[in-house]
Amino acid sequence: MNYYVFPRSEWATFHTRNFSSVTDAELDQLRSLNDEVSMQDVKDIYSPLRHLIHVKYRDYQTAEFNLSAFMGEHDYNHPFIIGIAGSVAVGKSTTARLLQLMLSRAYPDKRVQMITTDGFLYPNAELEKRGILDRKGFPESYNMDLLIHFLNNVKNNTGVVRAPKYSHQIYDIVPGVEEVLDHPDILIVEGINVLQLPTHEPIYVSDYFDLSIYVDADPELIEQWYLERFGMLLDTAFTDPTNYYYQYAIGDRKVAFDMARDVWDKVNLVNLNDYILPTKNRADVILHKTQNHVIDQVSLRKF
Ligand X SMILES: Nc1ncnc2c1ncn2[C@@H]1O[C@H](COP(=O)(O)OP(=O)(O)O)[C@@H](O)[C@H]1O
Tell me how far the alpha carbon of residue 128 is from its chain's centroid.
26
Q: Does 223 help bind ligand PAZ (rule: CB under 6 A)?
A: no
- CB-based contacts of 128, cutoff 8 Å, min separation 6: none
For strand 80-86 and strand 3-7, is the pairing parallel, antiparallel, or unpaired? unpaired
- CB contact burial 253-290 (16+ within 10 A = b; e otherwise): eeebeeebeebbeebbbebbeebbeebeebbbbbbbbe
The interface mask with ligand X, positions 32-61, x = CB under 6 A, is: ----xx------------------------
Among 15, 51, 78, 136, interactor with ligand PAZ by CB under 6 A: 136
Candidates 15-23, 59-67, 81-89, 265-273 — which segment interacts with ligand X by CB under 6 A?
A: 81-89
Question: Nearest approach, Cβ of 145 to ligand X (angstroms)?
Answer: 23
Cβ–Cβ under 8 Å, residues 91 and 218: no
Interatomic CA distance for residues 278 and 173, integer angstroms = 27
Near ligand PAZ in 246-265, by CB under 6 A: 263
Among 53, 84, 89, 187, interactor with ligand PAZ by CB under 6 A: 89
C-alpha closest to that of 30 among 189, 38, 48: 38
Apex CA 194: angle with CA 193 and CA 196, to 5°? 65
Would the CA dihedral through 233, 237, 242, 247 be positive or negative? positive
Residue 91 binds which of ligand X, ligand PAZ, none (CB < 5-8 A, kind-dependent): ligand X
Q: Does 228 help bind ligand X (rule: CB under 6 A)?
A: yes
Cβ–Cβ under 8 Å, residues 106 and 127: no
Number of residues that bind ligand PAZ (CB under 6 A): 10
Summarize the annotated binding site for ATP as residue ranges: 86-93
Q: Does 89 help bind ligand X (rule: CB under 6 A)?
A: yes
Q: Does 114 help bind ligand PAZ (rule: CB under 6 A)?
A: no
The interface mask with ligand PAZ, positions 63-82, x = CB under 6 A, is: --------------------
Residues at the site binding ligand X, with contacts judged by CB under 6 A: 36-37, 86, 88-94, 225, 228-229, 232, 293
Residues at the site binding ligand PAZ, with contacts judged by CB under 6 A: 88-89, 92, 118, 136-137, 192, 263, 267-268
